[in-house]
Amino acid sequence: MTVPAKQPWVRRDAQPFQVGNTAALRSGVRATTSRVLDARAAQVRAEMEVLAETHPWAATAHPSVVELFCKAVAKMRMINDYIDSVVEGDREAFPSRDRPSTGIEAVPPYLWTEATRAEAQATKLAERLGLDPKGQAELMKDSAWAKRLAGASLDELMAAGRRVRTSREAAARSTPAKD
């Protein structure tokens, strides 16, 4: 049996997708390590550098926490941008039989949950970095107590804490387990 030379359902003038296309990208909920999320996180990181002028402790924060914060904010913004564009009618949501294609009813319920989760994670990490008033106050209080009690900076206390933790972990590894 031979296949016909021209199949009516295939567009001959269509170009194949190029590597790195974003044609299927919608809200970004499932974007955990995508290049789109990384690009948005880089924008947040640039904003963090500007923010470091008013919040100098953010510049000395642990890089992994800063990275998590940047990705959380980027994901939150991606989801919120998608929801805003669907609600305002600038973009159509993924087609569904029981939902309209634009408007507030067009946003899938799971997306509202993901938006709330992303915002909660970004808020928690911002607090941990001292970027909100409560977190800033806690950092200032902790460093003031550290200077008052030990006469040492917070960095010196962190180094001492690492030494204690390392020695305890080494002791735990060398101690045989009790049955």
Q: 126: which residues sit within 8 A by CB, 6+ positions away?
A: 69, 132, 135
Residue-level pLDDT at 123: 92
> Which pLDDT tens digit goes with each residue over 66-87?
899 999 999 999 889 988 988 8
- Residue ranges of domains in the chain: 32-131, 133-171
- pLDDT-derived band at 118, boundaries 50, 70, 90: very high
Q: What is the DSSP letter of 104?
A: G
Residue-level pLDDT at 99: 77
Is residue 138's pLDDT more than 60? Answer: yes
Find where tokens 């010196």 sit: 156
Q: What is the DSSP letter of 115?
A: H
- Decide which of 152 and 1 is more confident: 152
CA 4 to chain centre: 50
Q: What is the DSSP letter of 44?
A: H
Mean pLDDT value of segment 97-121: 86
Is residue 116's pLDDT more than 60? Answer: yes
Poorest-pLDDT segment among 18-22, 55-59, 165-169: 18-22
Is residue 59's pLDDT more than 70? Answer: yes
- Decide which of 29 and 71 is more confident: 71
Evaluate whether 78 touches 27 at the Cβ level (below 8 Å). Answer: yes
